[in-house]
Chains A and B, each alone.
Chain A
Amino acid sequence: MVGETAATGKSVGLGLGCDPVVGSLACSKKREYRVTNRLQEGKRPLYAVIFNFIDSRYFNVFATVGGNRVTVYQCLEGGVIAVLQSYVDEDKDESFYTVSWACNVDGTPFVVAGGINGVMRVIDVGSEKIHKSFVGHGDSVNEIRTQTLKPSLVISASKDESVRLWNVHTGICILIFAGAGGHRNEVLSVDFHPSDIYRIASCGMDNTVKIWSMKEFWTYVEKSFTWTDLPSKFPTKYVQFPVYNASVHLNYVDCNRWLGDFILSKSVDNEIILWEPKVKEQTPGEGVVDILQKYPVPECDIWFIKFSCDFHFNLAAVGNREGKIFVWELQSSPPVLVARLSHPQSKSPIRQTATSFDGSTILSCCEDGTIWRWDDVTNSPD
């Protein structure tokens, strides 16, 4: 069951250097956020919320998923949230867990959603139609991310222990990251490297973080854009061995994001960790973990809680199981707690946050079906 407290994992070996720097929970109040809106979308849990960072024309547009519904909203002035579109899956038992913005090769905006059924829906929000449905994963889809350098490529992490690379333009499953060196339990999170187009990082219930390279298979990626035959006839390739593997956490790892060449990852130990993956020269594929610093998140000991960063990676916002949000300044050392957001009526677990382009707005989606909007009022006249 999503959200259950995870069992104890195996031990973690620390890398080189000193002890990591730990952020203080004394709030610096560098930024002041206020609740400007609260929406009750429905009664079913909302598992994901994401701003559109793919297309600068839509930076204030975000999507949420919960139950069998995908909804597109727009943040307007004065805390207003406008409902733009809503899509309901034909399967009433569908429960979407994740959503990502992508686009077609001509720039048409897409929303890609996946969940318990393992089928990914690609919605053309320009024409308000289903573009394609991706069938392939053998179980739930836990996360979908989009390659910002080539946003017709999306990657999905699944309960079936695999990660898959898809081309939303042609509907092709290009690569499957699984096998002898792959994850041994549900894959909970995956992310593209910000500048190395070949590199991805994945993590999951086997307590490991793996870095994969698709450089060797890039010709197949390029071929997928011009493929005119049936997607089922495309020569999908397996990538069985990651270029890096390490156990950073003692338990399930439910969210990982690149921060430059470093990695932010979160488990169920009430903290986000920033660390540097270092490959052992003697043992290719195995790595050393150099933990740089830690960002504490009290009462965040249930899994499937994902954090978000603004476009420039200045801030990270993460919720906890009691409806509170912690906003950390990412690039400071020691880490600085910029704001601690709480409200008497916000008591439900926050499954995911979305931080706007410049960090001026933070959204949270909650287990009770609510969406909360917090706006930065630091420099606003009272």
Chain B
Amino acid sequence: MPEAPELEKYAAHAMEDIEQGTSLWRDAWHRLQKNKLALFGGGFILLLALACFLSPFLGIQSYEEQNLTLGATPPSAEHWLGTDLLGRDLMARILYGGRISLSVGLAATAVSLLIGVIYGTLAGFLGGKTDALMMRFVDILYALPFTILVILLMVIFERSLLLLFMAIGAVEWLTMARIVRGQVLTLRRQEFIEAAEALGLRKRRIVFRHLIPNVLGVIIVYATLTVPSVMLLEAFLSFLGFGVQAPMSSWGTLINDGAKAMEEYPWLLLFPASFFSLTLFSLNFFGDGLRDALDPRASKD
């Protein structure tokens, strides 16, 4: 049995420990730092995004400046990644296409996030018959051949970037709604929510202080994983000629152009294709790493 002063010391020590307990986010950051592939993925995406969005201000050659006498040339000191059939600098075109592809990826993910999170939270929170009905509707939509409907939409209406965002976002929200609803359902049954209710906290405080921060991790993870699947869908549409229209170009159209000219000028295919694949690769690894890091059930180490 320790003496009384010592007990106090223990108590003070314990208090300190509680106060210095690491937050969910700091924990996640520590875990993420150990995952080298995820860090590489995140770093690559960051660099790429910076290069793509800052390229208009860097003073490199414009993506549309033609030089017909030059034609298609392999990589050289002046044009690092070579030039295309019209003598346009491939590097500038890839960075410009990346800007479109990344923008579509982010914007359509935002659309799907907005619909999916609101829908999923509502379904999970209301529960009962409303929930059953809402999720049945999602199930039915899941069965639709959506890629085909998006193609139909792009064929029928005037093709614009806005329509592309909306169409892709309208497809991708389903998974998000399912995941968020599942999370809200399990969280609502957990003891700490019950405890918060027993303490007499107001509903709004429970939702914002206790529910949202716990769902946030999952939302961030799936948003990160939605971006590559959106970019894939955009590139798929653009490759077939249903997406981004000339004179704009995305990575999908660049790969399509490259595939047509690969017999004589293989670099026109290889460079855009590797940028695209590397981006998908990085986003997927970063998303997976985030999931491992943010999963509250993962053990502390």
Partners in one complex: no
Point out residues on A near B: beta carbons under 8 Å.
none
Residues in chain B within 8 A of chain A (CB atoms): none
